[in-house]
Structure 1
Amino acid sequence: MTSLDRRLDRVLGQERTFHDTCRTALAAMAEGAGERVVLGENAFASGADAEVLGYQLRSWAKELRDMPPGPLFFGRLDFDARADADHAGQSYHIGRRRISEHPSAPPLVVDWRAPVSRRFYQASARDPQGVEVRRRFGWAQGSRGAAEDLTGLEDERLTAGEEAGGTSAILTGEIERPRVGPMRDIAATIQPEQDDLVRSDLVQSLCVQGAPGTGKTAVGLHRAAYLLYTYPQRIQRRGLLVLGPNRTFLTYVCEVLPALGESDIRQSTVDEEVVRELRGRQVGAVDEPVAAIVKHDVRMAEVLRRALCGRIAGPANSVALREGSYTWRVARSELEAIVDAVREEAPPYAIGRERVRSRAVRAIQLQAERRAGPMNNVWLQKITRARPVKEYVDTVWPKVRPEEVLAELLTDAAALAAAADGILDPGEQKALLWARPPRSWKSAKWSAADLILLDEVSGLIEHPEGYGHIVVDEAQDLSPMQCRAIARRAVFGSLTVLGDLAQGTTAWAARDWPTQLAHLGKPDAVVVPLTTGFRVPAAIVELANRLLPALDVDVLPGQSLRRDGRLSRRPVARPAGLAAAVVDAVRAALGREGSVGVIAADRDVAALSEALASAGIDTATGARVAVLPATLAKGLEYDHVVAVEPAEIAASEDRGLHRLYVVLTRAVSGLEIVHSRPLPDELADPAA
């Protein structure tokens, strides 16, 4: 053993001992948090304060108790003695959560989100930022945090001009580590450009246009964790919401935030959030494609506004209210002026109704006070509830439910024509009308698009509660009306918008970000492109880039720092042999490390699943092999992807080439294309 080897063993031993110390401190933190929940703190607090304190203590104890097992630190910073006064000569271990032996004691492990930790991601030999040595730790794959799993380390002596950069074996190994199961956090591997996005200010809405494999989803989730850490009171007051495209995607990313110490974050889809706001009203119908496209069109917002505001009318008569021997009268002209003034102010419908009521009451109050002096609150409440006032308000500004407004539009051709005049053409109006109208709105069965429209009307009636921050993933696939639903919930908050225009697969997918951001209510959001990938190998990225000219979107081609990876084609002479070829490709992939995804056109999935099952290959949930339709592949990653019949995927829908672009870029180690039909022209081998 050389002296260098002996030194490495000695240093590893010291770090393993330190990790044991951290493990003991973490256990004490969890035990202490549990005791504080039982015993309570500040027994003299008021009832409300005690309740809030109890909730905070229980949440803290639960977070520590449910913290996923794993290494407690992944890096270390040693500062130069000449660094700024706060850190000169200090050493800090960097991990996913702060660990200390006592709340007032210096931390044994510093949270990756703390200001000093930023230097772990940003310091370089060119700009050391006072860091003398940056150390990265290598842990055994799948480690649950046992000290002996610490197997290696790398030191970069930044003040001496030494930096591993792209040659760091530990960094590269962590980035390229095979993926099995849900998505992992990237706290140990955040790159400088990603760190800039993660630590963006809370008030700044941000849009990340990310090519495949650039980590845009991870950036969004880590930004959510960072904002909660940095602005806890401002965020917790309104909450933080993560919106994904579907439940499959949310299941895939569900463990990232808990691993970063944040478990109290809502993760949902736009449709689920709308159902929640509509108090559980569920989808019970499916639209024809033409109807769905019209319903998701932004023009529907004005149609709905007209339909709602069309219920506002002028008064038919004056208001006469008898009180004892006196009769208070408000002239019809004055009542009309009240309605016109409130219309001009354009408040939410429900607020407008109350303004009309309060101003009518005020007109009566002024008459009464000129005769008898100031009126008390009891009198005002009596006048407010009086039948003439109620009848006036119900006539000019009737109370209404969103379902009534929408059901009338979808069942009454005349009402729809009046609201859609000059907005929707006759064909579009006809597509909206229900072929078999229900007896009433109470028995109506609503489609997913209808629920978005109901949410729009509900928002016109009364603004929903908003969030402090919303992370929106796969935002390019949102319709304008879905974007408006999000915008209503972010009026006083900010957004992190994540997406890739090239991966837009819905009929209403965005073609550019300025238009989409305007629909989201954040036209001034900064758009930042991420083009350099760390996960998808260059050969696969370059193949997918061939599709970009045909996708009609203005995005920069992706690049990859990875020069490894496998790309192969397995042509099959006849369609009948396709399933057998897929089985062979999967068996070959299983001979390598990592997960395997078989992705095909939706209609082919059942047959392929049956063929794999007959061959004895397990495709159950949680197995190494997953068979999934192309329509559910977005946002997911597999070490090895078997892409089946690309031509069929491309021909299955109007934006089939966009869908194929998604499928090809799900592979992070190897991609095998199995096909019996000729490949799309864009993917054909130039040498053929």
Structure 2
Amino acid sequence: MTSPDPAPEDPADPLRDSLRRERAHHDACRAALAAMRAGADLQVVTGEDVSASGADAEVLGHRLRSQAKALRELPDGPLFFGRLDFAEGTGGEHAGLAHHIGRVRISEHPAVPPLVVDWRAPVSRAFYQASARDPQGVAVRRRFGWAPGSRGDSADLTGLEDEHLGSGEIRESDLVAREIERPRVGPMRDIAATIQPEQDDLVRAEPSASMCVQGAPGTGKTAVGLHRAAYLLYTHPQRVRRGGLLILGPHRAFLSYIAEVLPSLGESGVRQSTLSDEIARHPVTGTDPEPTAAVKHDARMAEVLRRALYARVNADAADDLTVAEGSCRWRVTGTEIARIVTDVLAEQLPYDVGRERVRSRIARRLQERAERHSGTRPVSWLRRTERSRPVSACLDAVWPRVRPEEIVAALLADPARAADGLLDPGERDALCRARPPRSYRSARWSAADLVLLDEVAGLMARPRGYGHVVVDEAQDLSPMECRAIARRVPFGSLTVLGDLAQGTTPWAARSWPAQLAHLGKPEAGVVPLTVGFRVPGAVLDLANRLLTRLGTDVPPARSLRRDGTLRLRRADGDLPAAVVSAVRDALTHEGSVGVITADADTPRIRAALTTAGLDTDPRLTTVPATLVKGLEYDHVVAVEPAAIAEAERRGLNRLYVVLTRAVSRLDVVHGRALPWEG
């Protein structure tokens, strides 16, 4: 049985009979899932009265609530997408068994075999890796075809497709092709049903291993990162959840686009954020000229900021310290205090830790004096002495308490001393504020300033760390932004996703080894994904014509799809009218339509579409080129490529991004010469 479609007439047809049995199995799965949800809610109720210590009860309650929440939040949809029939006599625990593969495990009882095996379970790996050359004990791999948008009604199971791996059958999967090419409407979908072997290798890599995926457009690198997160939560739940898992996206629109992927895989409660949100100490109310922002994002600023912070430490300010206790006076000389400060500085501790260590050592010197005179002092005496006014005043003189805002504001007012020998005069001038605020409290902070503030805060105290962080669009991170991420994964691992050809910021990476060093993981391997599954060949071929002009060593991508269309539409004097015409044509097809323009052109193009009455179609989105990264549309109308290329320093990279947002059809509307034709 290899047809992806149902047999139309004969009730005795084997395919129709198989569909009937599979639909009945799906009904059983749906009933079992409902029972699992009810049982999980009941466990939460009964678990509240569990007889255990307070800490144990709290841990158990959290676990039960998390399980119940994940089941409740599992979106409606088909409960399985594949099946593995293992051959008899092949050895192993699965010989002669059949397993349905789905997004979550479904079982009627923990003691009996599950009705559906989670796609992340070890046995499920054969679904993605088995082949006619290496069947891995699988006799038949079955894939199921579901009606688009199905919410899990068994009647939506419309077809199935069998691959007889045990007999050496080699064939392309029509169902996989249909799923990959299905129109993109709404947020990003999971790819659990269509993961390819090379993607599966990345998803199931060891949790302790950091990796970098250099993924050409449409190769599924974002999906790989999200599925790897789900895999780690499934296979190492205690380790990953204890350390925490963070998904970092380039902007909030991107996070909205991917928001439903992990819940669809049965994982909820994962923090999905942007780096800007993670480091935000203040709202962004200021802006920087590009030269100023470029200096602030430069790796040398880390040393400039370290100098500026530790310049506040002054061992020479140490005076003799005397603390009274009744009629006695205990004294520590200024020379001793200066030596304490110098010794602590040499230990290279975080600033706040160093300050408290100086306090502690001064107090212990006082304790030694007191105990030589009149015996042992209790711990309470030591703690009281540490916080006494004379000790605090001495500490403030040699190792003052500061805030990151004070350090950064003072540096930007006068960077000369801290930047001497690190930045040239022009860079120091770019860094210096023309009109410094009266105090750090009235400062207006730019996005780049927040990165500087986070660096200083990290020098003062270590931020919260995560067990694993997935970083998407990592090629656009500056060295200082990379350092902010590295501080949050000091002992954990990273999954770094990106494409050097899509680097659009002025400080975008041109080399992955250099970027990984800034991220604190120089040992991470770089794995290329060059086979596109989403972007049609005609679109990739056009985009590849830009690669030689981008200044990055990235291999051309190739696509397995030959079904897409590409049209170059010349606008004869009226660009908005040509765009309206292209959009009208695009809306006659199924799927989403993205109109992508240079940022400056977006208002007039949007106005033209509104005047034409096209803006009411929910499938249509008009988006500036600077906000389109990471998004996909079935049909893209790229407006005036020359304007996009000229709008910024790395405009050709931005144009490469724009062209590769199309997953079915691309219209290029232009009135000027095309950049790749020069």
TM class by smaller structure: over 0.9
Contact 1:349 1:461 in 2 (8 A): yes
Shift of 1:355: 0.9
Q: Report what 1:657 is aligned to.
A: 652
Q: Distance in 1 between matches of 2:599 and 2:461?
A: 40
Q: Report what 2:184 is aligned to.
A: 179
Q: Report what 1:354 is aligned to.
A: 356
Shift of 1:42: 6.1
Aligned match for 1:116, one of 119, 123, 126: 123
Contact 1:594 1:639 in 2 (8 A): yes
Aligned match for 1:127, one of 126, 130, 134: 134
Shift of 1:41: 5.8
Q: Report what 1:323 is aligned to.
A: 325
Secondary structure, aligned partner of 2:412? helix
Contact 2:318 2:335 in 1 (8 A): no
Where does structure 2 lack aligned partners over 5 or more consecutive residues?
Answer: 1-7
Secondary structure, aligned partner of 2:293? helix
Contact 1:619 1:626 in 2 (8 A): no
Contact 1:536 1:562 in 2 (8 A): yes
C-alpha distance after superposition, 1:274-328 (max 9, x if no partner): 11xx3xx211111122211111111111111000000000143222223234322
Secondary structure, aligned partner of 2:140? strand
Any residues of structure 2 matched to 1:90-239 within 5 Å, and which?
90-164=97-171, 167-239=172-244
Contact 1:609 1:619 in 2 (8 A): no
Q: Report what 1:368 is aligned to.
A: 370
Any residues of structure 2 matched to 1:222-301 within 5 Å, and which?
222-275=227-280, 278=281, 281-301=282-302
Aligned match for 1:79, one of 86, 92, 100: 86
Relative to structure 1, the CA distance from residue 316 to residue 231 in structure 2 (aligned partners, 3 Å threshold; closer, same or farther) is same
Asked if 1:635 corresponds to 2:630, the answer is yes
Contact 2:141 2:165 in 1 (8 A): yes
Contact 2:120 2:231 in 1 (8 A): yes
Q: Distance in 1 between matches of 2:616 and 2:337?
A: 70
Q: Report what 2:3 is aligned to.
A: none
Q: Report what 1:679 is aligned to.
A: 674
Q: Distance in 1 between matches of 2:517 and 2:616?
A: 42
Q: Report what 1:307 is aligned to.
A: 308
Aligned partner letter, 1:332: G
Identity of aligned residues (%): 65
Shift of 1:499: 0.2
Secondary structure, aligned partner of 1:552? coil
Q: Report what 1:394 is aligned to.
A: 396
Aligned match for 2:601, one of 599, 604, 616: 604
Q: Report what 1:566 is aligned to.
A: 565
Shift of 1:32: 1.3
Q: Distance in 1 between matches of 2:175 and 2:21?
A: 19
Asked if 1:531 corresponds to 2:525, the answer is no
Aligned partner letter, 2:116: V
Secondary structure, aligned partner of 2:497? strand
Q: Report what 1:481 is aligned to.
A: 480
Q: Distance in 1 between matches of 2:580 and 2:533?
A: 29
Q: Report what 2:620 is aligned to.
A: 625
Contact 1:531 1:556 in 2 (8 A): yes
Q: Distance in 2 between matches of 1:387 and 1:98?
A: 62
Shift of 1:504: 0.3
Shift of 1:95: 0.3
Query: TM-score with structure 2 length normalisation?
Result: 0.97
Aligned partner letter, 2:671: S
Q: Distance in 2 between matches of 1:201 and 1:5?
A: 48
Q: Distance in 2 between matches of 1:95 and 1:80?
A: 21
Q: Distance in 1 between matches of 2:126 and 2:164?
A: 14
Q: Distance in 2 between matches of 1:556 and 1:97?
A: 37
Shift of 1:4: 11
Contact 1:640 1:670 in 2 (8 A): yes
The 4+ residue runs of structure 1 with deviation greater than 6 A are 1-5
Q: Distance in 2 between matches of 1:124 and 1:318?
A: 79
Q: Distance in 2 between matches of 1:523 and 1:589?
A: 45
Once structures 1 and 2 are overlaid, which stretch shifts more, 516-525 or 425-434?
Answer: 425-434
Q: Report what 1:666 is aligned to.
A: 661
Asked if 1:542 corresponds to 2:549, the answer is no
Secondary structure, aligned partner of 2:186? coil
Q: Report what 1:494 is aligned to.
A: 493
Secondary structure, aligned partner of 1:127? coil
C-alpha distance after superposition, 1:577-601 (max 9, x if no partner): 1111111111111111211111111
Any residues of structure 2 matched to 1:500-539 within 5 Å, and which?
500-539=499-538
Secondary structure, aligned partner of 1:568? strand
Q: Report what 2:4 is aligned to.
A: none
Contact 2:318 2:337 in 1 (8 A): no
Shift of 1:564: 1.5
Contact 2:635 2:663 in 1 (8 A): yes
Contact 1:100 1:107 in 2 (8 A): yes
- What is the aligned length? 670
Q: Distance in 2 between matches of 1:609 and 1:492?
A: 47
Shift of 1:5: 7.3
Q: Distance in 1 between matches of 2:333 and 2:300?
A: 38
Secondary structure, aligned partner of 1:151? strand
Q: Report what 2:419 is aligned to.
A: 420
Aligned partner letter, 2:37: A
Relative to structure 1, the CA distance from residue 90 to residue 442 in structure 2 (aligned partners, 3 Å threshold; closer, same or farther) is same
Aligned partner letter, 1:217: T
C-alpha distance after superposition, 1:9-68 (max 9, x if no partner): 000000000000000000111111122222326621222322332222222222212211
Contact 2:11 2:17 in 1 (8 A): no
Q: Distance in 2 between matches of 1:286 and 1:301?
A: 21
Aligned partner letter, 1:158: L
